[in-house]
Chains A and B, each alone.
Chain A
Amino acid sequence: MLGTILLLALRSIRRHVLRSLLTMLGIVIGVAAVVSMVTLGKATTAAVTQQIAALGTNILQVRPGQGFGRGGGGPAPRDFEPADIMAIRQQVGGVTAVAPQASASGTAIYEGANWSTTINGTTSDFFKIQPWPLQTGRSFNEDEETAGKSVCIIGSTVSTNLFRGADPIGKRFRIGEVSCDVIGLLTTKGQAGFGGDQDDIVIMPIKTVQRRFLGTTAIRTILVGVDQNYSTEQVQQTLTRLLRERRHITEGKDDDFNIFDTKQISDTLTQTTTMLTRIVAAVAAISLVVGGIGIMNIMLVSVTERTREIGIRLAIGAVASEVLLQFLVEAVVLSCLGGLIGLLLAQLVVGVATPLMDLPWIFDPAVNLGAFAVSAAIGVIFGYFPARRAASLNPIDALRHE
């Protein structure tokens, strides 16, 4: 019995190729649109989250000047001094590490290969604050830092362009006027959230950079790592008080430095991605509705034709339940087939789009299942209920349906 019904359903699908394809198309598009959009939205969220993690949390970045950059007119704000670093270490509670930073740029040369890059002078504390492990080699030791030796840790971009895949550890290359020994290679960090290749960098002891490249002991930036058990706000307040005092800023005057809390960025980004996820969900819901209406239309358009067909089947001796079961099987087969094709299409779209958009590839079973279930349900419901109505008519009324 069930075999007969299945045979009838499959025959009917095969005979009405266009109608079947149009029905499936609605479901295919509905599922593909929902799944690819939600997946890409989720991938974006994941990418942003990764970047937030890479940024490091609980870091205060101290720069001279008000706000971002040096600001408008006025005299250029003073840089920080090495003594400021010592003072912060000793007088601010809840600080895990303090890393001064001074940067320069130069062209690195090694056996005919040359590469323009950024030189970042800092101390080994930099690696205690930034979540940026070494791939091979080691960080600076105290001796190298205090003496300002020409040793460096390089980013993967510099290593690739200078050493062409060879192990860079122990090699000596020239950068500007300085000969420099490679002691460490950083892991690849990738693109920064705001553009720029983070791996295009050479890190040297700050003393070396100050002495050999800048000719001053000025410190442009101070990174302060905050203990997880302390609130960054509180540490920021203490730090501000200390720096105002040290920089002789009188009561009522504005700070001539600014402290930037990475937690603020991560909070802002998290808010943005949450909003993004909501928008994506809304768009997905809309496309699901649109897809559903497409399915509905095809099903309703074919009702007249199918009502007569139901009348014929009833007249030649089919029981209503047999006719209904056949229509149900047709709807289930078409909906599920359409849903599966939609899922495959979505994987294709995601697979092509994620590398292009620089997003991680993700597969969310809940999204796939959900979209499939909803579309298939719409297909089955709108395939089945008009048929049920038709089968409840007297055969002669179904036959005469116009």
Chain B
Amino acid sequence: MAGTESPAAPIISLRGITKVFGTGETAFRALKGVDLDIAAGDFVAVMGPSGSGKSTMMNILGCLDVSTSGAFLFHGHHVEDLDRDQRALLRRRYLGFVFQGFNLLARTSALENVELPLLYRGDAKQNRRQEAMAALEKVGLADWAGHTPGELSGGQQQRVAIARAIVTNPEILLADEPTGNLDSQRSVEIMEFLATLNRDSGITVLMVTHEPDMAEYARRIVHFKDGLIDRIEEAGRRPEAMGGTTGGVTG
């Protein structure tokens, strides 16, 4: 377990995070005190059976949900002390999301979907176009910029979603079962792309998955069980993941 501690200060530190849904008799403790550190440039896959708390933890890490107790430090700042708007600004500045269900805006072109985070960030129109097109090019969909999600395949929609997630150059990309709705061929493409992003751009990637094949693309696999971390193992089917070191990652 020594490999989980990074010499550089981790960008994310969880200490004793708990999450309780409901109150009284019907209360359900989804997380029972999770400790985890994530260093910049890491690629972490979170696995575990349904109800083990892996998605709950992802949502808390992504500031989409709040913990019931415990400390969540992001760059050393206590996220649990932030209010709704501050969390929104944190998402805007540092985080990118990829969901299992894509969650693109319907009837909205790929380009405008990708532009949206830039719009909220306040970029000028010219800039927005350029950066959104660049992001679409990275995911290989430049020719599909004018198409709406309804006109795109599942794999293409997920690539648009990835373009939307990375267009702001986030420090962390959170992916909640990004390949859950895709066939194996598309899944491999998406995973290759995430791995490349992590390796070449140094983006920290956190991914929930229940497919061991997909988890193998990560550097570390965190196994959840009954609301607690069961074990953390080194992954590395990918040869380049073993040798190539980026950022402050060890091991």
Contacts and interface: CB of A to CB of B under 8 A. Distances in A.
Interface of A: 1, 4, 7-8, 11, 15-16, 305, 308-309, 311-322, 394-397, 399
B91 A316 contact: yes
Interface centre among A8, A15, A394, A396 (most CB of B within 10 A): A396
Contact of B107 (A16, A316, A322): A16
B91 A315 contact: yes
A396 B117 CA distance: 17
B93 interface: yes
Interface stretch (B1-9, B58-66, B137-145): B58-66
Contact of B84 (A15, A316, A320): A320
B105 A4 contact: no
A119 B105 CA distance: 81
B177 to A, nearest CB: 13
A308 B99 CA distance: 13
Interface stretch (B119-127, B200-208, B235-243): B119-127
A313 B164 CA distance: 12
Contacts of B164: 316
A318 B122 CA distance: 11
A319 B116 contact: no
A330 B197 CA distance: 38
Contact of B97 (A4, A316, A319, A397): A316
Contacts of B91: 314-317
B20 interface: no
Contact of B116 (A305, A316, A321): A316
Given A15-B108, A317-B91, A399-B99, A8 B119 contact: yes
Nearest to B93: A317
B50 interface: no
9 contacts: A1-B122, A4-B122, A316-B97, A317-B95, A319-B120, A320-B85, A394-B65, A395-B65, A397-B65
Given A316-B116, A319-B85, 14 more contacts: A1-B122, A7-B119, A308-B103, A314-B91, A315-B64, A315-B97, A316-B97, A316-B117, A317-B91, A317-B93, A317-B168, A395-B64, A399-B64, A399-B103
Contacts of B66: 394
Contact of B88 (A4, A309, A318): A318
Cβ-closest 8 pairs across A and B? A317-B92, A396-B64, A15-B107, A395-B64, A319-B88, A316-B117, A396-B59, A396-B65
B88 A320 contact: yes
A318 B107 contact: no
A394 B105 CA distance: 19
B121 A317 contact: yes
A128 B66 CA distance: 89
B103 A312 contact: yes
A16 B85 CA distance: 28
Interface string B152-181: 000000000000110010000000000000
Contacts, number: 71
Chain A, interface SS category? helix
B42 interface: no
A316 B84 CA distance: 14
Contacts of A11: 108, 112
B82 interface: no
Contacts of B103: 308, 311-312, 315, 399
B136 to A, nearest CB: 16
Contacts of A15: 106-108
A4 B64 contact: no
A394 B64 contact: yes
B190 to A, nearest CB: 19
Contacts of B104: 312
A322 B112 contact: no
B207 to A, nearest CB: 16
A396 B176 CA distance: 12
A318 B99 contact: no
A4 B122 CA distance: 8
A312 B64 CA distance: 10
Nearest to A312: B103
Contacts of B92: 316-318
B117 A317 contact: yes
A321 B89 CA distance: 12
Contacts of A309: 105
A319 B63 CA distance: 13
Given A320-B85, A396-B59, A313 B122 contact: no
Contacts of B93: 317
A241 B154 CA distance: 101
A305 to B, nearest CB: 8
A15 B99 CA distance: 23
Contacts of B85: 319-321
A317 B64 contact: no
Contacts of B89: 317, 319
A251 to B, nearest CB: 92
A389 to B, nearest CB: 14
Contacts of A395: 64-65
Contacts of A308: 103
B170 to A, nearest CB: 9
Contacts of A322: 120
